[in-house]
Amino acid sequence: MRVSKAGLLVVAAIVIPIVVEFRTALSWFGIELSVLEGVALAVTIVLAIVVWAVWPSDGNGNAETEPTDPE
Amino acid sequence: MAMRNAYVDQFPAEAKVIKAAFWSSFLALAIGGLLGLVQALHRTDVVRFIDSADYYTVLTAHGVLLAITFTIFFLVGIFTWAVTTSLERGVVDTRFTWSWYAMMVVGTVLVGVTIFAGFLEDAPEILGAPLNADVLFTFYAPLQAHPFFYVGLVLFVVGSWLAGVDWFRTWWAWRGENPDERIPLPTFMVLTTTLFWYICTFGVALSILVFLLPWSLGIVDSVNPLLTRTLFWYFGHAVVYFWLMPAYMMWYIMLPKLSGGKLFSDPLARVVFVLFLLLSTPLGIHHQYLDPGIAEGYKFIAMTNTMFLLLPSLLTAFTVVASMEHGARQRGGEGYLGWLRALPWRDPVFTGMALAGLMFAAAGFSGMINAGMNINYLVHNTWWVVGHFHLTVGTAVALTFMAAAYWFIPQVTGKALWNRSVALGQVLLWFIGMTFMSNAMHRSGLFGMPRRTAEPQYSGFEFEPAAGTVGEINAQVALGAVILTVSLALFLLNMVLTSFNGSSDAIPDNTYAGTLSGPEDAPEILDNLKLWTAIAIVLVIFAYTLPVASIVENGGLFGPGIEGQQLTLVPDTATVLETVREVMP
C-alpha cells in the first residue's frame, strides 16, 4: 500500500468535510447537487483514493509493504 | 524487566487527584453530551420526547456541564500534570490540592442539582425560592436562578483559583531551589493562563457576588441587566481561551513528540502565551455588538483587540505544523507534502489532536465573521454561532482532550489503553459527526435560523436557505449529533474498560517534547510575569472603564427596578401565532 491503513482512514474522513463544503460552495455558482449526488461524489472520491492507495506504486504489480509506525 | 517511568510512578499522590479530576470531567461530558443529542433531535423535530419548556433546562445543563465542568476539570488535571512534570517535583501539599478539587466538586453538585430540579413538576422551595436555574449558560438577568446556582458557580470558580494558587506555590518552591533556571515551558503556559483566569473571573465574581446573588436572595430589589451582562462577557470570552490553552499546550508539547520530533520554537510558544495573557480579556464586548446602551466606539475597540488575537493563533498554527513536519522528516518523510504520510496516523492521540487543530482552523474563519462588527449583524444570535463554538470548544478543545486522555489515563493509572483501534475510530467519528453538524448549523445561521429556540418551526413562514433545504439541514444536524453520540459512547467505553485493565509495564515514559530552539533563545523578559500581568490589567482598564461607567451612568448600578423572572412557556398557540404575525406579516 502507498499509505498505511490508518492514514487511508484519515484521508477518507477528511474527504467528508471537503465534499460537504464543496457542495455548499458549488451552490454559489448555481450548481446544486442533491444529497444523493453529494453522497455519490464522496463515495467516488473515497473509492478513487482507496484504489490509488492499494495500487502498486512501482507499476510492476509488486505491492509495497504497508508503511509502519517506527514507534 | 525495564523500569516503568509513567507519571503514576513519579508522582503517585498527584496522579490520584488528576485521575479524580479527569473522571469528574468525563462524567460531565457523558451527561452533557447525551443532553446535546436530546436537543439536536428536539430542535430538528426528528424525535421529541421532552416538553419544549424543558428544552431550556436541557440547554442550560448541556452548556454548563460541557463548557464549564468538563473543560475546567480536565484543565486542572492537565495543568497539575504539566507543573509537576516540568518542574520535576510534586505539589507543595497534596491536602491543599484535594481541597480545591473538593470545592470544585461541591460547586458542581450544587449547580447540577439546581439545574436538574428544573425537570420536576413542583420544584421544592428552598430559601423561599423554587429550586431551578433555567438561565442558560450565560445566566443573563432578568432571568433569575435559585441562589444555589450562583453559590455553586462561586465555589467552582474559587476552587479553580485555589488550583492556581497550588500551581504558583509549586513553582515558587521550585524557584527557591533553582533560582537561575528559566521557567520550564509547560509551567510557563500554566502560569500565564492562570493569570488571565484571575483577571477575567474578577468580572463574573463581581457580577455574581455583588449583583446576582444578593438579587436572588432578595437582599437587593433590582439589577442592571446590561451591567451584569457586560461583566459576564468580560469573563465570557476569556473563558474560551481558558478552555483552549490546555489544548494549545498539548499541541505545543505533545504533538511534536508524537510526530517524532521536537517543538520548533520555545520562544515563539512563550510569546503566544504572553499575547493570550495580554489580550484575552479586553475584548468581551465583541459579544455585545447588538446590545443597545454600549456606544459603537467601544465596540470598535473590542473588535480591534479581537483581531489582534488572531496573531497568536496564527503563530501557533505555524509553530505546531513546523514541529510536526520536523517530526515527520525525522521519521523518513520527504517532499513538499509527502512528509504528511510519515506522521503516526495510527496513533489516536496524534490523530485526534491533529484533526482537532484542523477543525480549529475552520473555527478561526467563522470566528472572524463573528468578530467583524458589521458582518456579525448577519449571524448574531443565530445557529451560526452555535456551529462556531462546536468547532472551538466542541472540537478543538473536546477532541484534543479526548485524544489526550488516551495518553493521560494510562499515565495516571498505570493501566494500558483498552483498545487503540477503537480510540482511532472514535476520534475519526467525532471529526465526521462534527463536520455534518457544524456545517449545517453555520449554513442555517446564514438564513437567520435562531439559536436557543426549542421549536424553530413557524406557521406561515418558511426559511429560505441559499443552498439545500431546511429539511436537509435538519437531517444533517441530527445525523451529526447521532455520530457524535456514538463517538462519545466509544470514548467512555474505552475509558471505563481501561480502568478495569490490570497494571501494565508497557506504559510510555512520562515526557514531553524537547525543543529545536530552547528557552535559552528566548529573551528573559518573556518570563517577567509581573510585567505582563500589569500590562494586561492596564489594557483591561482602557477597554472597560468608559463603557462600564457609561452603563452605570445610564442605567444605575442596580438598574431601573428589574425583577427576576423564571423562564416559562405558555402553550397558547394563538398568542404565539399572533406575535409572529406582528413581526412577519
Is residue A42 situated within a structural domain? yes
- How far the first Cα of chain A sits from its last, in Å, is 19
Contact B432 A21 (CB under 8 A): no
B338 vs A contacts (CB less than 8 Å): none
Q: In this structure, what CATH number is given to the domain that contains residue B164?
A: 1.20.210.10
Contact A71 B347 (CB under 8 A): yes
Helix ranges, B280-419 (H): 296-308, 310-330, 348-371, 373-379, 383-391, 398-413
pLDDT score of B59 more than 80: yes
Is residue B484 situated within a structural domain? yes
What percent of chain B is modeled with pLDDT above 90? 90
pLDDT in tens, B224-238: 999 999 999 999 999
Residue of A nearest to B440 (CA): A20
pLDDT score of B534 more than 90: yes
Q: What 3-state DSSP class applies to B453?
A: coil
A70 vs B contacts (CB less than 8 Å): 260, 331-332
Contact B347 A69 (CB under 8 A): yes
Residue B554, chain A, CB below 8 Å: the answer is no
Of B351, B443, B472, the CB nearest to A35: B472
Residues near A17 by beta carbon (within 8 Å), at least 6 away in sequence: B362, B431, B435, B439
Contact A10 B355 (CB under 8 A): yes
Q: What is the per-residue pLDDT for A63?
A: 46
Max Cα distance, chain A (Å): 49
Distance, CA of B556 to CA of B59 (rounded, Å): 31
Is residue B25 situated within a structural domain? yes
Least confident of B65-74, B520-529, B566-575: B566-575
Write out residues 12-71 of A within 8 Å (CB-CB) of B.
13-14, 16-17, 20-21, 23-24, 27-28, 32, 35, 67, 69-71
pLDDT in tens, B191-220: 999 999 999 999 999 999 999 999 999 999
Q: CB–CB of B363/B388 below 8 Å? A: yes
Helix ranges, B372-506 (H): 373-379, 383-391, 398-413, 420-446, 470-500
**Average pLDDT of the residues of chain B:** 94
Residue with cell 501539599: B93
What percent of chain B is modeled with pLDDT above 70? 96
DSSP B87-114: HTS--S-HHHHHHHHHHHHHHHHHHHHH
Q: CB–CB of B55/B136 below 8 Å? A: no
pLDDT in tens, B259-303: 999 999 999 999 999 999 999 999 999 999 999 999 999 999 999
Of A9, A32, A35, the CB nearest to B428: A9
Is residue B420 situated within a structural domain? yes
pLDDT score of B138 more than 90: yes
Provide the pLDDT confidence category of residue A23 given band limits of 50, 70 and 90: confident
Mean per-residue pLDDT, B15-38: 98
Look at chain A and count its residues: 71
Domain range for A37: 5-54
B422 vs A contacts (CB less than 8 Å): none
ipTM of the complex as predicted: 0.83
Least confident of B123-137, B379-393, B530-544: B123-137
Of B351, B443, B467, the CB nearest to A10: B351
Distance, CA of B120 to CA of B271 (rounded, Å): 50
- Mutation pick from A2, A9, A29 vs chain B, by most beta carbons of B within 10 Å, is A9
Residue B330, chain A, CB below 8 Å: the answer is no
More confident residue, B257 or B572: B257
Mean per-residue pLDDT, B147-164: 98
Q: What is the per-residue pLDDT for B583?
A: 61
Structural element, H or E, at residue A9 = helix A5-27
Mean per-residue pLDDT, B563-585: 65
Residues near B24 by beta carbon (within 8 Å), at least 6 away in sequence: B69, B73, B101, B104, B105, B108
Is residue B5 situated within a structural domain? no
Q: CB–CB of B237/B286 below 8 Å? A: yes
Q: What is the per-residue pLDDT for B566?
A: 75
Is residue A22 situated within a structural domain? yes
Contact A10 B345 (CB under 8 A): yes
B435 vs A contacts (CB less than 8 Å): 16-17, 20
- Residues B197-200: contacts with CB within 8 Å, 24+ apart? B197/B160, B197/B161, B197/B164, B197/B238, B197/B242, B198/B161, B198/B164, B199/B238, B199/B281, B199/B533, B199/B536, B199/B537, B199/B540, B200/B234, B200/B235, B200/B238, B200/B239, B200/B242, B200/B280, B200/B281
Provide the pLDDT confidence category of residue B38 given band limits of 50, 70 and 90: very high
Q: What is the per-residue pLDDT for B459?
A: 86
Is residue B206 situated within a structural domain? yes
pLDDT in tens, B78-105: 999 999 999 999 999 999 999 999 999 9
Q: Which of B134, B136, B105, B104 is nearest to B117 (CA)?
A: B134
pLDDT score of B243 more than 80: yes
pLDDT score of B572 more than 80: no
Size of interface A-B (CB pairs under 8 A): 64
Residue with cell 453538524: B437
Chain A closest-CA separation from residue B358 CA (Å)? 10
Is residue A63 situated within a structural domain? no
Distance, CA of B572 to CA of B578 (rounded, Å): 10
Is residue B300 situated within a structural domain? yes
Provide the pLDDT confidence category of residue A28 given band limits of 50, 70 and 90: confident
**Average pLDDT of the residues of chain A:** 82
pLDDT in tens, B381-399: 999 999 999 999 999 999 9
Is residue A14 situated within a structural domain? yes
Is residue B344 situated within a structural domain? yes
Structural element, H or E, at residue B393 = none
- How far the first Cα of chain B sits from its last, in Å, is 79
A35 vs B contacts (CB less than 8 Å): 468, 472
pLDDT in tens, B410-442: 999 999 999 999 999 999 999 999 999 999 999
Q: What is the per-residue pLDDT for B1?
A: 47
Q: What is the per-residue pLDDT for B183?
A: 97
Mean per-residue pLDDT, A36-44: 92
Contact B432 A13 (CB under 8 A): yes
More confident residue, B502 or B16: B16
- DSSP 8-state code for residue B184: P
Is residue B6 situated within a structural domain? no
Residues of B annotated as part of the active site: 237, 241, 388-390, 451-452
Domain range for B215: 11-578
Number of domains in chain A: 1
Number of domains in chain B: 1
pLDDT in tens, B449-484: 999 999 999 888 999 988 788 999 999 999 999 999
Chain B closest-CA separation from residue A44 CA (Å)? 17
Provide the pLDDT confidence category of residue A57 given band limits of 50, 70 and 90: confident
pLDDT score of B577 more than 80: no
Distance, CA of B427 to CA of B488 (rounded, Å): 9
Q: CB–CB of B365/B401 below 8 Å? A: no
